[in-house]
Amino acid sequence: MNQVHVRHMRNLCSELKALEPELDQQKEEQKRQHVRYLSGLWAGFAIASGMLSGGVFAGISGQPWLAVLLTGPSFVALAKL
């Protein structure tokens, strides 16, 4: 019985070693997805901030409709965060 148990444990260890490359690939893919998500989040924040700044500048310059067009979507985008 003990030899059967040892053989079974050896088989499990070899199967785990065979799965390690696949697990490493999955970890790398998760890291890439996370970086892609954060990049998109920061890019959206930068665009929304730029539109908000442009809207404020347009409002100061006496163009209220342009200011409304620029600030409206950026307020909505920032509210989602």
pLDDT in tens, 23-72: 889 999 999 999 999 999 999 889 888 988 999 999 999 999 999 898 88
Instruction: State the Cα angle at 80 between 78 and 81, rounded to 5°.
Output: 70
Instruction: Please enumerate in sequence order all residues whose Cβ is within 8 A of that of 78, keeping only pairs 6 or more positions apart, or say none.
Output: 45, 48, 52
Dihedral of CA atoms 6, 8, 14, 15 in degrees, nearest 10, equals -160
C-alpha 48/C-alpha 71 separation (Å) is 8
Q: What is the pLDDT of residue 49?
A: 87
Q: Percentages helix, strand, coil for the chain, rounded to the nearest 5?
A: 95, 0, 5
